[in-house]
Structure 1
Amino acid sequence: MRYGEATVTVVDPRSYMTYQPFLPEVAAGSISPRHVVVPLRRVLPKAEVLTGRVTTIDQDRKVAVVTPLVGEAYELPFDYLVIALGAVSRTFPIPGLAEQGIGMKGVEEGIGLRNHVLEQLDKAESTTDENVRRKALTFVFVGGGFAGAETIGEVEDMARDAAKYYSTIKREDMRFILVDAADKILPEVGPKLGTWGKEHLESRGIEIYLSTSMDSCVDGHVVLKNGLEVDSNTIVWTAGVKPNPALARYGLPLGPRGHVDTAPTLQVQGSDYIWAAGDNAQVPDVAARKAGVENAWCPPNAQHALRQAKVLGDNVVSGMRGFPQKEYAHSNKGAVAGLGLHKGVAMIVMGKMKIKLKGRLAWYMHRGYHGMAMPTWNRKIRVFADWTLGMFLKREVVALGALETPREEFYEAAKPAPAPAAAAAPAEKAKAS
């Protein structure tokens, strides 16, 4: 846009953007957590960034109600609106899941999972109770898509390395379990690579149970539909995503699964001043429909979100200036997944030809694609620097569990000490007399 043509305001409860495909590597310690987040105020110097949440939208008055981190809510007028809230973890009413489950949608969860897993090794090393030890060394992952398969592959890799520094723990003492309700894992890369990925994970000692689900996990007691019962302190939930539930309060047309219903131009159906893209949008897959696939929608992945953003930006400016809107059309370029250090699968689509790779070469494709897709050169360089250092230095296996409660030690030091028994004795004696 021209200078002074418009004011762009971004409202987000976090002051940074997270590149989610790197969360498994954050959990494994391959990338520093700070390097997979992009500070909004730094990369959007010409925009107004407000840290808060949009609670309601009045389309008639063109006003959004913003609830900031502190203080009272206020109204924010707009001429054009972009809805890009993304997605949240899709959960089910499983007993114990809310209390025991660990998600993988934010960098905080990636850090927390890493600290939690390493802390379980510390617990297992320090206890003499065999039941406590077994529960600490059992890790259950629910969901066999990209997030689940990549996370269990990376975390198993990290735990295998970490076990070398414990005198009483070996990889054989740990139990990794992957559960999925579908009959295959990694469906995004096709059945052959999915089968290879399953066989590869199983060769590393990971138990995989397909066509089953978790019935309950109260107090860490995991009960699967197939009858298997185990006790575990670590239950990672990666069984899909759903659109941000806040969309239901905005009065926008929604699809059957809660996504904002958009036209191929990314304009919200029935509106000429509201656009949506990414995981919270139901965008027609124009390329697939031209190929004869009816009711095809763009999948919620980084490949589409990055490209939709560019079309959306152009269309917003075109809408301001009265020019025609451009349809979003993108053919699938394939998919890549990392399953730990030097291990991965990749399917590259080149026209009508599909190139399928596995092992180290696929792992290079995975890192290369996502490394270049990472926003800003600042973060690209930092991520590649982390990977380069990892080639020469050993993996860090330090658990910083105290990060979750950083004030606990200071609180214990600063709270008033109880009165000494000797000082309390005279008062008690006087009361008795």
Structure 2
Amino acid sequence: MRTILVVGGGYAGFYTAWKLEKKLRRGEARVIVVDPRPYMTYQPFLPEVLAGSVEARHAAVSQRRHLRKTKLVTGSVTRIDHASRTVTVRPAVGPEFTIPYDIIVVTAGAVTRKLSVPGIAEHAIGMKHVEEAVAIRDRLLTAFDQAASLPPGPERRRLLTVTFVGGGFSGVEGFGELLSLATALVRKYPELSADELSFHLVEARDRILPEVTDKPGEWVVRSLEERGGRVHLNAQLVDASDGHVVLSTGEEFDSELIVWTVGNAANPMVHNHTDLPIDARGMLVVRADLRVGTDDAPVEDAWGAGDDAAVPDLAAEKPGAATVPNAQHAVRQGKLLARNLIATLRGRETKPYLHHSLGTVATLGLGRGIFQYHRLVIKGFPAWLMHRGYHVLAVPTWERKVRVLALWTTAALFGRDIVSLASVQHPREAFTSGGELVSSRADAGRL
């Protein structure tokens, strides 16, 4: 029985393993998934996790619950040695070890692209994982509680200032959802007013949402600014030391919350620690059928998909273009990779990856959205409904679909929960500072 090792349990890796479980015959092959997290993050729900419209756990799909026939290894792959058919794994606890394999599937995903901006490493929060989305929400709610107890002034103004850096999908959606939450929160705090909110979206280019055309993108900017947001185009963040934001345009302000969403970078493990072929950007070189290598020089028993692979985009008008790194492609690539892998095991022909876009849809806050398919553009509430409908259908497993729908129904009846649980990030603080230390067993017994 051959061993298929999947590096990474994100979209592409999860769907590859999930479909392999359903299609492999008994004894045909065994599947191993190595990932540092025990769940797959459904990233399109992260903006709604920010706003409290989706429970954090509902944006995470448990691997052990749904990959019941797969061996799961919690750890990070630090090196792939395809010549010897082994990977090196670094677990959270204990020494590194190696796992042998017969076939490898590299779906390690990309990482957040970081720039050497002073203060970012110390003060910014990314928006790629559930933990980050929860931290952003809790930070905003805590800031409101603190600001409400302060008189008007610089400190209160800083607490109510939020900065998003990056005008791509995650940045715009996160900005719109958090602005929607903050606007709703003001009604619960009579000490504060909407005029005190200061939300900034910083984008280095002259437009946001590059996936939509110019006029819809301009409409999104107007919509966000009409709601009180400030969009800085052709602007770069040059300093964020101590939370003091300095832009290339000369504008400066203090910001309690800085969210970094400037895009993806090549996975360092794929880029630097594998003998598989990579391109100039550090991406895995794959063919249209998702086999690693080129048509002239395929690499035997190696496959790749998702954000760490340069998958040829056969639907693009530009020759040599690669698919963009998004969930729509990663999910479909994972499914096709499983089918092609089984086809090779059974001596059949593989199929190339070809997907024509279904359009672009984004949430801009509760009841607001935008959808574009070629020249068709839908704005506002209908687009927001389309966003929710599409993603509740796209999130894997019926269990997750039902949970999300139930939460949306509850929120429609009773509103969003506005409780901050920021203290869970320091769970021992209340215990260690909550009272006098009891030193003797006798004293402990009398308590």
Relative to the length of structure 1, the TM-score reads 0.92
CA distance in 1, matches of 2:283, 2:408: 36
- Pick one of 356, 359, 366 that aligns with 1:341: 366
Q: Does 1:118 align with 2:141?
A: yes
Contact 1:287/1:330 (8 A) holds in 2: yes
Residue in structure 1 matched with residue 353 of structure 2 by the alignment: 328
After superposition, the Cα gap between the structure-2 partners of 1:96 and 1:415, relative to the gap in structure 1 and judged at 3 Å, is: farther
CA distance in 1, matches of 2:345, 2:381: 48
CA distance in 1, matches of 2:130, 2:420: 16
Residue in structure 2 matched with residue 239 of structure 1 by the alignment: 262
CA offsets per residue over residues 355-401 of structure 1, 9 Å max, x none? 21110111111111111000111001111111111211121111111
- Pick one of 34, 53, 61 that aligns with 1:30: 53
- Pick one of 309, 315, 327 that aligns with 1:281: 309
Q: Does 1:370 align with 2:411?
A: no
Structure-to-structure mapping, 1:139-288, within 5 angstroms: 139-247=162-270, 248-269=272-293, 270-288=298-316
Contact 2:75/2:89 (8 A) holds in 1: yes
The CA deviation at 1:200 is: 0.4
CA distance in 2, matches of 1:111, 1:136: 18
- Pick one of 127, 130, 135 that aligns with 1:104: 127
The CA deviation at 1:319 is: 2.1
The CA deviation at 1:408 is: 1.1
Relative to the length of structure 2, the TM-score reads 0.89
Residue in structure 1 matched with residue 411 of structure 2 by the alignment: 390
Q: Which is further off, 120-129 or 379-388?
A: 120-129
| Runs (5+) with no aligned partner, structure 1 | 419-433
SS in structure 1 of the partner of residue 27 of structure 2: coil
CA distance in 2, matches of 1:102, 1:319: 43
The CA deviation at 1:283 is: 0.5
After superposition, the Cα gap between the structure-2 partners of 1:187 and 1:9, relative to the gap in structure 1 and judged at 3 Å, is: same
Contact 2:292/2:304 (8 A) holds in 1: yes
Residue in structure 2 matched with residue 75 of structure 1 by the alignment: 98
Residue in structure 2 matched with residue 316 of structure 1 by the alignment: 341
- Pick one of 123, 127, 150 that aligns with 1:127: 150
Q: Does 1:10 align with 2:38?
A: no
CA offsets per residue over residues 122-145 of structure 1, 9 Å max, x none? 111122472211111111111111
Q: How many residue pairs end up in the alignment?
A: 411
Residue in structure 2 matched with residue 411 of structure 1 by the alignment: 432
Residue in structure 2 matched with residue 424 of structure 1 by the alignment: none
CA distance in 2, matches of 1:280, 1:60: 20
CA offsets per residue over residues 122-175 of structure 1, 9 Å max, x none? 111122472211111111111111111111110011111111111211111110
Q: Does 1:360 align with 2:385?
A: no
Say what the alpha-carbon RMSD is for the aligned residues.
Answer: 1.4
| Runs (5+) with no aligned partner, structure 2 | 1-23, 440-447
Q: Which amino acid in 1 is paired with 2:411?
A: G
CA distance in 2, matches of 1:104, 1:321: 41
